[in-house]
Amino acid sequence: MSLPPDKLHRYFDGDLSEGEAKVVAREIEGTEDEARLAALGRIGDLVRLEAETAADFDADALFGRIQAGLAAQPNPRLRVIEGQRKTRTRVAVGAVVALAAAVTLFFVTRPPSTDETAAHPFDTRREVLVDNTEAPVLVHPPGGSEVESVEWGASTGTVFHVEGSEGQPLAVVWIDEGSF
């Protein structure tokens, strides 16, 4: 059974309690976790060794040598290519314009629908034809609204009766703004 990496790292760093450390030491004995712990030790030794030698490191001198080397012999494999971005942009714009033209041409040249009963997909109205020759059909305008009573309180207002778009009577109540 392998220990979770965070527990192994806490054991390596000495962050476990004394009892937990003893239990982990018994669990990893002779397992692959023991090899992982040894590898962590070797990595720690390398980091400490590098930290000791890094104290004598002069980064400015290294950067100066790199700049001098680049100035003396530029990399011939690197070159600046002018105009590539403009060409790609023109091609992309041309493709978009061509696609828009094709879609427009499709809808303009498409023959109109010959089905006269076809309704718009969002039209929910349905028409029902009934053969009724015996009695005349009376058509009443759709219902409207009316005001039965108004409690004005301290406010003032007016009730208007207007005609709707389909001839239905509508009541509009107007409350004076200054009374609030």
Distance in angstroms (rounded) separating the CA atoms of residues 5 and 37: 10
Average pLDDT, the chain: 76
Residue 175 · residue 155 · CB < 8 Å: yes
Distance in angstroms (rounded) separating the CA atoms of residues 160 and 7: 80
Residue 12 · residue 41 · CB < 8 Å: yes
* pLDDT for 174 beyond 70: yes
**11 closest CA partner among 30, 37, 44:** 37
- Mapped onto helix, strand or coil, the DSSP state of residue 170 is strand
pTM for this one? 0.30
Number of residues assigned to the chain: 180
User: Token pair 């109205």 is at which residue?
Assistant: 125
User: Token pair 């309690």 is at which residue?
Assistant: 17
The pLDDT of 169-175, averaged and rounded, is 76
pLDDT digits (tens, 9 = 90+) for 97-111: 999 999 888 888 877
